[in-house]
């Protein structure tokens, strides 16, 4: 789900960088010393999960686990995902440095939205509610990321309409897979270490 260098217009790049800077600032403000190891672990999990890429036009499709990162970190997902994307751009040329702001926004904003939509249900719900909320957080995280990517491409030009349709279609199976993975993870974490999910 990385947008490559040279695809987006300067206006979209600047807007993405500014919004990401705001999200990172909020995330860093909410991060205390006790939470740094957890943020680092989830950043590395995101890094590894999104290394396997399936090219789809000028972008790529892969697991991102942003719903899980959002449920566990909230606003701290912004700095966590930013670090992982920066290392991927530097080490593997996935995405790029000029698109770092937009790519971070595309993956982090849905993580924060998933946090606000589903974290309470996961914390307070029974097993069935936790499973459903976990699945939805994973699926919504990927679905919104695909939608935000599409909006970024359309903000650059209408010539990307067909690619946007392809990107959204390519992420439907990823939504289902991520939903199942996230549901399993939150149920497991709630059972063995409930404080991680705030239960």
Give dist(CA 148, CA 101) in Å, integer: 13
pLDDT digits (tens, 9 = 90+) for 142-186: 999 989 988 998 888 888 888 888 878 878 888 998 999 999 999
Cβ pair 50, 88 in contact under 8 A: yes
What proportion of the chain, given as a percentage, has pLDDT over 70? 94
pLDDT-derived band at 38 (thresholds 50, 70, 90) equals confident
Could you tell me if residue 95 is left (phi over 0), alpha (psi between -120 and 50 degrees) or otherwise beta?
Answer: left
pLDDT score for 25: 96
Between 111 and 173, residue with greater pLDDT: 111
pLDDT score for 20: 96
Question: Could you tell me the two tokens for 93?
Answer: 């040329």
Please name every residue paired with 55 in a beta bridge, in sequence order, or none if there are none: 60
pLDDT digits (tens, 9 = 90+) for 67-93: 999 999 999 999 999 999 999 888 888
Average pLDDT over residues 103-119: 95
CB-hemisphere CA count at 13 Å for 166?
15
Give dist(CA 165, CA 128) in Å, integer: 33
pLDDT-derived band at 199 (thresholds 50, 70, 90) equals low
* 3-class secondary structure, 94: coil
* 3-class secondary structure, 62: coil
User: First vs last Cα of the chain: how many Å apart?
Assistant: 32
Q: What is the mean pLDDT of the chain?
A: 88
pLDDT digits (tens, 9 = 90+) for 43-52: 888 888 877 7
Residues 6 or more apart in contact with residue 48 via CB below 8 angstroms: none
Indicate the pairing of strand 54-56 with strand 59-61. Answer: antiparallel
pLDDT score for 106: 94
pLDDT-derived band at 2 (thresholds 50, 70, 90) equals confident
Query: Structural domains in the chain?
Result: 10-197 (1.10.1760.20)
Buried b vs exposed e over 154-193: b needs ≥16 C-beta within 10 Å? eebeeebeebbebbeebbeebbeebbebbbebbbebbeee
pLDDT score for 58: 56
Cβ pair 125, 173 in contact under 8 A: no
Say how far residue 114 (Cα) sits from the centre of its chain: 10
């Amino acid at each position: 789900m990385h947008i490559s260098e040279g695809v987006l217009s300067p206006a979209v790049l600047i807007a993405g960088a500014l919004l990401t800077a705001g999200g990172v600032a909020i995330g860093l403000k909410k991060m205390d010393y006790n939470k740094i190891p957890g943020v680092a672990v989830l950043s590395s999990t995101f890094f590894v999960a999104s290394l396997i890429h399936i090219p789809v036009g000028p972008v790529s499709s892969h697991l991102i686990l942003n719903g899980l990162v959002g449920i566990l970190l909230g606003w701290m997902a912004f700095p966590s995902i930013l670090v992982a994307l920066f290392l991927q751009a530097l080490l593997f040329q996935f995405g790029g440095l000029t698109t770092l702001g937009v790519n971070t926004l595309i993956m982090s904003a849905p993580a924060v939205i998933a946090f606000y939509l589903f974290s309470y249900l996961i914390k307070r719900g029974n097993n069935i509610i936790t499973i459903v909320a976990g699945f939805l957080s994973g699926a919504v995280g990927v679905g919104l990321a695909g939608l935000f990517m599409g909006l970024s491409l359309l903000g650059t030009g209408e010539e990307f309409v067909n690619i946007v349709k392809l990107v959204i279609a390519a992420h439907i199976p990823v939504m289902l897979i991520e939903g199942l993975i996230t549901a399993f993870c939150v149920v497991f974490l709630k059972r063995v270490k409930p404080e991680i999910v705030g239960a």
